[in-house]
Amino acid sequence: MDTTRLVKIEAFRSEFLDNSRDVFVYLPPSYEASSRRYPVLYMHDGRHAFFADEYGDSWEADRVVDSLASEGRMREIMVVAVSVVSSRRVAEYFHPHPGAEKALGVDCRGDLYERFLADELKPFIDSQFHTLPEPQHTALLGASAGGVISYAIGFNRPEVFGNLGVMSPYLVSTDLETLAETPMVQLHEHKAPLKVWLDTGSAEGLLILPRHVRDAAIRLKKAGFKQGEDFAFYLTPQAAHTQQDWSARLHMPLLFFFEKMAQPVRLELLGADEIALTETDVYLNAINHFDTGFALSDLEASYIVGNSEILEITPEGRLIPKALGTTTVTYQKHGLCATKTICVNPNLGPLATVRLEVTVPPETPTDTRIWAGVELPRLSAGKYGGTFRLPRGLEFAFKVSRGMGKNERSRGRYFKVEDGLELRLEVEEWE
């Protein structure tokens, strides 16, 4: 990191929240030698924008923005990274919403955090730095709970934040035993003067279900947002709920907000190879790749089905099975195409039985709780596991964990739920 362009504002005080936090301001390479003004990206969970610590890895936002600008793919921008008050993170990142406080176990104070950002911090930044203060030059971005607060603040304050980066948003809390769902935020169905990037990883397990994020995307499209113009949705293949995965695609919302013109170069057509005749909530993921590194999942796609008596597909990619059999599906756009084969199978159900078992190192404390995509009960000394009924096709990318920031020393694991799947994992060493 080039620390000469990093300004640390220590203990910035919020009267609305009655607390203080550090704020980091990253300046573009030309800042000191130029009198020009710059667009600004505000990032939640701000310390992780530039630094790794015991709670997580770095997004390396300085490297990403400098690389994009130096390669001519994006304008130079400033980054304002807003640290959290650790004990108040969850409370500050959620607005009051029916059921949310009970599910989270906190008093939601997102309305006060919104006032802190819009009415205290941004005016200060605009007064001290060479910013372009207008909403069309101001972006707000976060992941998980940070994605939720970006979404909520943006729709409440479009006159302040005109670009929203909503990554892996925690829109719904899912009970891991009953699979009951509690909405965490109000989904908006009105058009606002905003540019919205909305994404999730396909392998975030039960924490962030792609269908919740896709539903929010479809609502935006129905409200009048135009795909590729002021709205983009991306279902990221095999991406997990980690800083590494968010960092790996950080360039995409930045290109969407601040890029030069891009040209399509490749299509992908991903999704289920099999579907039950009775299923109604299975989607394809039609991805457009561009020459700048930008990508989006097409919710306005045109499909050609080889045998329309077996299958229909909506523009959003929802599969509508009509009869048993196998057919091809072709996706065409920009003079490009991608094809896959889909089977309507009579022997599939919505849930599948999966057996997971994890062996941990001998020095692991006996009262440790273990997660391998889902929490695993203790079976015996050094062994955790169980049998689970999970939605078929659900993807998990993870490291075996024994708590926040306490993961196995491994490159990571991946599995996709299918009937009869048995995984026996061994943790050789904890990080």
Assess whether pLDDT exceeds 70 at residue 321: yes
Reported as a single tens digit per residue, the pLDDT across 133-142 is: 999 999 999 9
The SS3 call for residue 342 is: strand
Reported as a single tens digit per residue, the pLDDT across 151-164 is: 999 999 999 999 99
Using a 10 angstrom Cβ sphere, with 0-12 exposed, 13-18 middle and 19 or more buried, the burial of residue 248 is: middle
pLDDT of the residue at 208: 84
Reported as a single tens digit per residue, the pLDDT across 9-66 is: 999 999 999 999 999 999 999 999 999 999 999 999 998 999 887 667 899 999 999 9
| Per-residue pLDDT band at 431 (split at 50, 70, 90) | confident
| Per-residue pLDDT band at 273 (split at 50, 70, 90) | very high
Using a 10 angstrom Cβ sphere, with 0-12 exposed, 13-18 middle and 19 or more buried, the burial of residue 333 is: middle
Question: What is the Cα–Cα distance from 50 to 1, expressed in whole angstroms?
Answer: 8
Q: How many CB atoms lie within 10 A of CB 101?
A: 14
pLDDT of the residue at 203: 95
pLDDT of the residue at 2: 67
Question: What is the Cα–Cα distance from 263 to 231, expressed in whole angstroms?
Answer: 17
Using a 10 angstrom Cβ sphere, with 0-12 exposed, 13-18 middle and 19 or more buried, the burial of residue 31 is: middle
How much is the average pLDDT of 409-426?
A: 92
Assess whether pLDDT exceeds 90 at residue 255: yes
Q: Which of 108, 161, 121 shows the shortest CA–CA distance to 137?
A: 161
Helices (H) and strands (E) in the chain, counts: 10, 27
pLDDT of the residue at 115: 98
pLDDT of the residue at 99: 85
For residues 398, 399, 403 and 405, what is the CA-based torsion angle, rounded to 10 degrees? -100
Question: What is the Cα–Cα distance from 82 to 233, expressed in whole angstroms?
Answer: 25
Reported as a single tens digit per residue, the pLDDT across 89-126 is: 999 999 999 888 888 888 999 999 999 999 999 999 99
Judged by average pLDDT, the poorest of 249-263, 326-340, 353-367 is 249-263
Reported as a single tens digit per residue, the pLDDT across 196-217 is: 999 999 999 887 889 999 999 9
How much is the average pLDDT of 369-386?
A: 94
Cα dist. 283→39, 202, 213, 289, 339 in Å?
A: 36, 12, 13, 19, 15
pTM of the model: 0.93
Half-sphere exposure for 192 (CA within 13 Å, toward CB): 25
pLDDT of the residue at 403: 80
pLDDT of the residue at 1: 60
